[in-house]
Amino acid sequence: MTQGTGIMMQQRAGRRTTWLLLLPVLVFLAVFFLVPLGQVLYFSVMDPTFTLHHYLAFFTDDFYWRVLFGTFRTTAIVTAFSLLLSYPLSYAIVRLGGGFATAMLLIVAMSFWTSFLVRTFAWMVILGNNGPLRAILATMGWTPPPELLFTRFSSTLAMVHLLVPFMVLALYSVMKKIDYTLVRAAISLGATPFEAFRRVFLPLSAPGIVNGCTLVFIMCLGFYVTPVLLGSPREQMIAGLIGTQIEEFLEFGEASATAVILLCVTMTVFAIYNRFVGLDKLWG
Amino acid sequence: MRIVIALALLSALFILGPLLIVVPMSFSTAKSFAFPPPDYWLGYYRAFFADIRWTQPVINSVLIALATMLLTMALVIPASFAMVRQRFLGRSAMNLLLMMPMIVPHIVMALGYYSYFGHLKIIHSPLGVVLAHTCLSVPVCYLIIAAALKGFDRNLERAAMNLGASPLRTFWEVTFPVLRPGFLVGGLFAFIHSFDEAVVAIFISGQAASTLPRKMFDSIRIEADPIVSVVSTLLFAAVLLAVLSPLLWRAISNTRRQVQSGTATA
Amino acid sequence: MNAFAGRMEGRQGVTGSYLEIRDLVKSYDGYQQAVRGISLAIAKGEFVSFLGPSGSGKTTTLMMVAGFEQPTAGRIVLGGREIAPVPPHKRNIGMVFQNYALFPHMTAAENVGFPLRMRKRPAAEITRRSREALAMVGLADFAGRQPRELSGGQQQRVALARALVFEPDVLLLDEPLGALDKNLREHMQVEIKRIHRELGITTIYVTHDQTEAMTMSDRIAVFSQGVVEQFAAPLDVYLRPATRFVGGFVGDSNFFEASGRTGMLEVAGLGTLSLPQAPVSASGRYDVLVRPEAIGLWRGSGDRAGHCVVPFTVTALVNYGDSVLLIGSSGDLSLRARIPFMLATDIREGTALSLSWRHADMHCIPA
C-alpha cells in the first residue's frame, strides 16, 4: 500500500462515521424543518397555479406598507432603548463586580428565564385600566389619565422589558473580557476618564453592542405574542398580521407571502451580520 | 461613575419591578386585572389546581418538554461529535442548517407547521408539538453541547486508550461521564425552550394538546382570567428557586465548611 | 525499594535494541512530512530524551509509538514485535501527558486503578497495587482526592503512578514538567530519575528543555524539522555535536566558517589551524564550534602554544551572578565568552582585552 491510498482510506472511513452521526439530525431537520419552510415558500406563489399576486397585493396596498414600516420603526425603537438601558447596567456590573454584580446578574437572569407570557401579563396589569401606572398619573393631576393598554406605546415598552436581558448578557459577555488596564493606560497617557472610556472601552465593547443589537432587532422583528396581547389591533406588527391572515381570514397565500417577506428581511439582517462578524459569534 | 450606577439601578428596577407585580396579583380577590388588589385570598390558587382546563395544559407542557428534550439530545449529541471533531466537505452548510431554526422567526414556522401538520394529520396532537419544538430546540442544544465538546480535552481519551481501554470503553468510562454535565445543560435548555415556547404552540397545539403558554395566551386574550396571575406567580417562583439555588447552595456549603473548620480547631 | 519496584526489577537486564524505530514517516496530507524517515534503536531500560524545538516531529514520533497517530511509512518494533498495526489500548505502553490528562471524575486512586480495571484484575489486587503505586510517588495519603484538589506537582505524580502501575513495557513522557515552576521541576526531575533507576523501565522523555535532557538522559535524540540530527550520550551531544543545528540548539555557541582538506583548516578570522576533522566533510567546508565557556581571558602577550589568541572589544555584558557573558567582536568576528565573575570585575562596555582558547576545544562540523 502506498502512502497516498492509506491516508485516503482512513479519510474515507472517517467520513462514513461522520455522516452516520449527522444523518439523524439531517433527516429530521429536512423533514420537519425544511419541508414546512418550503411549503410556506410554495404557498406564497401558488394559488392554485404559479402566481405573484400575493406579493403584488402586499406591495400595492398602503395598509401592508404601513405594517412593514411600523414594524421597522417599533423594532428600531425597541433596539435603541434596550441598548440605552443595558449599557450602563452592564458597565456597572463589570466595573463594580462583587456583590453588586452578583445581585444585578441575578435580577437579569430572573427576568431572562421568566416566560415571555408571564412578563407580558405583568405589563398588562401595570398598564391596565385599573393598573398602578394610570393611578399614579391620575394622582399627578393627569385626569383623566390616558389609555395605555392596547397602544403602540404599551407593546413597545413591554418588548423593551422582554429583550433587555438579552442585550445585557450580550454586552456583559464582551465587556467582562475587556482588559481594564487598557483604560488605565489611556488615562496615564493623559486622557480624561471620559475620553479614555470613549476612545478605549467603548470601541472594545463594540462587538457586544453589535451582537446585542442584532439579536434584539431580529427577535423584535418577528415578535408575535406581546404585540398581539398588548398592542393596538389597528397598528399590528408583521408577525401579528400573519396570525390574523391565518386565523381570521384563512388566507394562506397572503399569509405565506407575508411570512416570506418577514423571512427575507430577517435573513438580510443575518447576512449583513454574517458578512461583517460571522454567524458563529452571535450567541457567544 | 455615580451617574452610571444610578442609571444601572434604574435599569435594574425596570427589569425587576414588573416581575414582582404578579405576586400580589395572584392573591387578589378582584375578578379582573386590578392593581392594587382590593383584598387578598387564596381562592384562585384553589381554582387553578381544581380546574382541569388549567392542570391539563401544565401536564401537557411538561410531557411535551420532556419528550422534546430527549429527542433533541438524541439528535444533537451525535451530530455535535461529528461537527466538532471532524473536518469534512459540507461542514459549514451543516452548521448553517443546525442554526437555521433559530434564525427563522417562529411565526413563519408556525404557519409552515399549521398547513404541513394538517396535511400529515398530526396537527392538534402532542406528537406534532414535540416534533416542532424539537426542530426549534436543536440550535440552542447544539450550541451548548458543541461548546462543551470543544472544551473537552482529548488527551483524556488518549490516556484512557493508552491505559488499556478500548474505544467503546473509553467513551463510556471517560468521554461520556466527563461531558455529562454539558449534555444535561443542553437538555435542560431544550426542555425550557419547549416549555416556554408560545407561538408555534398557539397555532398547532389545539385544545387537545394545549400547552401552558397557549392556555395562558388564550386566557389573557379572550377571558382576562385572574388564574393567569396564579400561573405566572408559580412560574416566577420556579425561576426564582432555580436562579437562587446555586447561590443558596454555595452559602450552605460555606457555612458547613466554616463549622467543620471551627470544630477542627476546637 | 517497595514491593512495586521489586516486581518490576525482574524485567530488566536484556541488552541490545528493545524498541526500534525504522524509517518512520508521518504525513498528514500526503505531501508535507511532519516526520521524515526517523530511525532509532533504544536499549532495554534506557532513558532516552527526544529534544527539539516545537514542530520538530518529536511529539508526533511519540504519538506514533503510543499508537495515537498511524505512521505513513516505516516500522516500530517493540521487543521483537511489529506494533504499528496494534491499537493503542493493546500496546501496553504507559504515557504521561503534557497536561497530565487525569480523569476529573475519578479520585487519585481510581485514576491509578483504571488501567488495572481495564485489564480485568480482581478488585483486591487493584486496591493493593494502586496503593503501592501511589506510595511509590509519595502520595499514599492522597488516594481519595479528586484531581482538582491536588497541586500541579501532585497531579503529575498521580499521572506517573497511573502510567506505571500496570507494568508497561515502555514509559512515554510528553513534556511532563512543562507546566511546573522551576523549583518543582528540578524536584520532579530527580523524582523521575529515581523511579527510573528503581524500575529500570525503558523511558522516552520528550522535552524542548536542553538542561532537562542533559541531566536526565542516557542518550538524547535531537530533532529538527522531522529528522533526528544526532542520537548520542548527553556529553557527546554537547561536546561533539553532529550538525550545526545541534551545536546551536544545545548550549550557547560561537561558530566560525572554515575550509580545507588535509588536517589543516583555513578558519575565517583565525588563520590556518591544525584541527582534528572527523567526520570529514565532502565539500571541504566546515563549521567550527567553540563554546563560550571554553574561552578565557588572556593577560599575556604574543602567541600561546596550542591556543587561539584574539583581540576583543566588549560591546555588552550579561551578568549571571556566578559568571559573566561577554558579547563583543574581534575584527569581523562576533564572539561570546563566558568567564567567572571574579575575573571580570574590572571589565566594562568598550574595554579592549585579549581572549584565548585551546585548539582542542574547537569542534569541526562538516557543513
Q: Is residue B199 part of a domain?
A: yes
B145, three cell numbers: 453541547
Neighboring chain B residues of C103 at a CB cutoff of 8 Å: 156, 159-160, 174, 178
Angle between helices B106-120 and B126-150 (to 10 degrees): 130
Domain holding C123: CATH number? 3.40.50.300
User: How long, in residues, is chain A?
Assistant: 284
Residues B72, B80 contacting (CB under 8 angstroms)? no
C36 beta partners: C25
pLDDT mean over A183-195? 88
Q: How far is CA C71 from CA A6, B155, C62, C85, in A?
A: 10, 19, 11, 9
Q: What is the DSSP letter of A178?
A: S
Please indicate whether residue B263 or residue A192 has the higher confidence score (pLDDT).
A192
C256 beta partners: C288
Give C254's contacts (C-beta < 8 A, 6+ positions apart). C289, C290, C291, C292, C295, C335, C336
Mean pLDDT score across all residues of chain A:
87
Domain holding B199: CATH number? 1.10.3720.10
Q: Is residue B153 part of a domain?
A: yes
Residues A210, A277 contacting (CB under 8 angstroms)? yes
Determine the pLDDT at residue A15: 79
Residues C360, C304 contacting (CB under 8 angstroms)? no
Question: For A229-240, what is each residue's pLDDT tens digit?
Answer: 888 888 889 999
Neighboring chain B residues of A243 at a CB cutoff of 8 Å: 107, 203
User: How long, in residues, is chain B?
Assistant: 266
Question: How do beta strands C227-232 and C219-224 pair?
Answer: antiparallel
Task: Determine the residue type at C209.
Answer: D
Last residue of a domain, one of C212, C239, C266: C239
Question: For A142-153, what is each residue's pLDDT tens digit?
Answer: 878 788 888 888
C281 backbone dihedrals φ, ψ, rounded to 5°: -85, 130
Residue in C closest to A7 by C-alpha: C30
Cα atoms in the 13 Å half-sphere on the side-chain side of C49: 28
Contact C98 B155 (CB under 8 A): yes
CB atoms within 10 A of CB A2: 10
The C-alpha cell 495519603 sits at C141
Determine the pLDDT at residue A13: 65
* One domain, residues C120 and C266: no
Pick from B90, B112, B109: nearest CA to B101: B109
Determine the pLDDT at residue A201: 92
* One domain, residues C38 and C135: yes
pLDDT higher than threshold 50 for residue A4: no
Contact B161 C99 (CB under 8 A): no
Domain holding C337: CATH number? 2.40.50.100
B109, three cell numbers: 414556522
Please indicate whether residue A58 or residue B98 has the higher confidence score (pLDDT).
B98
Percent with pLDDT over 70 in chain B: 97
Residue A1's pLDDT band, with cuts at 50, 70 and 90, is very low
The residue ranges of every structural domain in chain A are 1-45, 62-281
**Based on the number of CB atoms within 10 Å of its own CB, is B16 exposed (0-12), middle (13-18) or buried (19 or more)?**
middle
Determine the pLDDT at residue A11: 61
* One domain, residues C47 and C185: yes
Helical H segments across chain A, by residue range: 3-29, 35-45, 53-60, 62-96, 98-113, 116-127, 132-139, 152-175, 181-188, 193-196, 202-221, 225-230, 238-247, 252-276
Neighboring chain B residues of C148 at a CB cutoff of 8 Å: none
Determine the pLDDT at residue A231: 85
Q: Is residue B139 part of a domain?
A: yes
Pick from B123, B201, B125, B23: nearest CA to A225: B201
**Fold adopted by A62-281:** MetI-like fold (1.10.3720)
pLDDT higher than threshold 60 for residue B266: no
Determine the pLDDT at residue C366: 86
Residues C309, C303 contacting (CB under 8 angstroms)? yes
Q: What is the DSSP letter of C88?
A: G
pLDDT higher than threshold 50 for residue B114: yes
Out of A46-50, B181-185, C168-172, least confident range: A46-50
pLDDT mean over A25-37? 95
Contact A7 C30 (CB under 8 A): yes
Cβ-Cβ contacts under 8 Å between B and C: the total is 70
Strand segments, DSSP code E, in C47-115 are 47-51, 73-78, 81-82, 93-96
Cβ-Cβ contacts under 8 Å between A and C: the total is 13
Neighboring chain B residues of A267 at a CB cutoff of 8 Å: 103
- The H or E element containing residue C296 is strand C296-297
C22, three cell numbers: 525504522
How many Å lie between the alpha carbon of B186 and the closest alpha carbon of chain C? 20
Contact B177 C105 (CB under 8 A): yes
C356 beta partners: C296, C309
**Based on the number of CB atoms within 10 Å of its own CB, is B97 exposed (0-12), middle (13-18) or buried (19 or more)?**
buried
Q: In a structure prediction context, what are the per-residue pLDDT tens digits for chain C, which is 367 residues long?
A: 455 555 554 444 444 689 999 999 998 877 788 899 999 999 999 999 999 998 899 999 999 999 998 899 999 999 888 998 889 999 999 999 988 899 999 999 999 999 999 999 999 999 999 999 999 888 999 999 999 999 988 999 999 999 999 999 999 999 888 878 888 888 888 889 998 998 899 999 999 888 889 989 999 999 999 999 999 999 999 988 999 999 988 888 899 888 887 678 888 878 888 877 767 777 888 888 999 999 988 887 777 888 888 889 999 989 888 889 999 988 888 899 999 988 888 888 888 888 998 888 888 888 8
Determine the pLDDT at residue B86: 86
* One domain, residues C234 and C101: yes
Residue in C closest to B174 by C-alpha: C103
Residues from A in contact with C at Cβ < 8 Å: 3-4, 6-7, 10
Question: For C255-278, what is each residue's pLDDT tens digit?
Answer: 988 888 767 888 887 888 887 776
* Secondary structure (H, E, C), C227-284: EEEEEECHHHHHHCCCCHHHHHHCCCCEEEEEECCCCEEEECCCEEEECCCCCCCCCC
How many Å lie between the alpha carbon of C178 and the closest alpha carbon of chain A? 27
Structural domain that includes position B93: 64-217
Is cis: bond before B101, omega within 30 of 0?
Answer: no
Determine the pLDDT at residue C9: 46
* One domain, residues C228 and C264: no
* One domain, residues C40 and C152: yes
Structural domain that includes position C277: 252-366
Mean pLDDT score across all residues of chain B:
89
Kindly state whether B36 is in contact with chain A, defined as any CB-CB distance less than 8 angstroms: yes
Task: Determine the residue type at C221.
Answer: A
Give A205's contacts (C-beta < 8 A, 6+ positions apart). A171, A174, A175, A178
C318 beta partners: C325
Helical H segments across B151-226, by residue range: 155-162, 167-170, 176-196, 199-204, 212-218
Three-state SS at A173 = helix
* One domain, residues C260 and C111: no
Question: For B56-68, what is each residue's pLDDT tens digit?
Answer: 999 999 999 999 9
Determine the pLDDT at residue C299: 83
Residue B185's pLDDT band, with cuts at 50, 70 and 90, is very high
Pick from C226, C228, C246, C227: nearest CA to C236: C246
How many Å lie between the alpha carbon of A44 and the closest alpha carbon of chain B? 11
Determine the pLDDT at residue C10: 42
Kindly state whether B105 is in contact with chain A, defined as any CB-CB distance less than 8 angstroms: yes
Query: Domain count of chain C?
Result: 2
Q: Is residue C110 part of a domain?
A: yes
Question: For A232-272, what is each residue's pLDDT tens digit?
Answer: 888 889 999 998 888 887 888 889 999 999 999 999 998 89
Task: Determine the residue type at B102.
Answer: M
Determine the pLDDT at residue B173: 93
Contact A7 C25 (CB under 8 A): no
- Pick from B153, B162, B166: CB nearest C95: B162
CB atoms within 10 A of CB A45: 17
